[in-house]
Amino acid sequence: MVMELCLGGELFDRIVEREHYTESQARQCLKEVTEAIAYCHAQNIAHRDLKPENLLYASDDDDAGIKVADFGLAVLLDDNTLTHTACGTPGYVAPEILRNAWYGIQVDVWSLGVIAYILLCGFPPFYDEDNLRLYEHIKRGVYDYPSPFWDHVSDTAKDLIDHMLVVNPKKRYTAAQVLAHPFLADDTLSTHDNELPMFRDNLKRYNARRKFRNGLLALQVVSAFSGGNSDKSSALASILRNAAASNPEEEGTGAEAPATEVPAEAAAEVPAEAAAEVPAEAA
């Protein structure tokens, strides 16, 4: 097997290194990722695990392209085929997966919508201090654009997100429709030059906490799998349950679990959880 070596680092890591960040730069990032997913969907491939860790720059060059990585959970699905496997990464998972319903390639567009939201403000769209309410927000698609963090973002960008974060997958934009939306299709919009002054600090906090939690959970998973546990699926499910139950008071958030694919019986016991990293002013 030959794999491409991407030396440019993760998308969010590169963004926080920039001194200035505009809506145009967020737009370009989203456009590149969406083009890749639209191509996958045209080949009847659903990625099913779109998240920041899987968006890599090809090199350290300023003009390096973004690559979509980790197709470990990808599956072949055409327009007439659905699947029922519980998988994905909490925080980016579509509501139909949370409901344990049959789903198709549209789950990727939901994940893209979450990424688009973060790219424009620096924190995710779904959050709540109570994890059970958080799950309900995701399933209902409840989110907003809190001031002052969204004051500098154009209505065109918000309109695109509103067509991506649609609970009903039949009414949700396809990847091709996302690319055809004026926010991505019209290069002449003056709003593309909007500076996003609060974005960098927001994303820096969110990114640091996300990586810290993922590191802790990875250590737990490695420990469980190296301890000779005969029922590794149950061990992993237990770790995810514990992660979902944790809700640090100092952050008002729950933990983000690693991507996983577990038997349906285990998945039914472990509700997926959205990342909840928002500035205190927005909570």
| Nearest CA-CA partner of 201 in 280, 263, 133 | 280
* 49 flagged as catalytic: yes
Chain centroid to Cα 241, Å, comes to 20
| Nearest CA-CA partner of 218 in 273, 256, 167 | 256
- Is residue 173 within 8 A of residue 166, CB to CB? The reply is yes
Across-strand partners of 278?
none
64 DSSP 8-state letter: P
Active-site residue, from 13, 49, 128, 155: 49
3 state DSSP class of 283: coil
Peptide bond into 148 cis (omega under 30): yes
| Nearest CA-CA partner of 267 in 85, 101, 133 | 85
From first CA to last CA, the distance across the chain in angstroms is: 46
Give the angle subtended at the CA of 40 by the CAs of 36 and 46, to the nearest 5°.
120
**What distance in Å separates the CA atoms of residue 218 and residue 71, rounded to the nearest whole number?**
19
Which residues are marked as active site?
A: 49
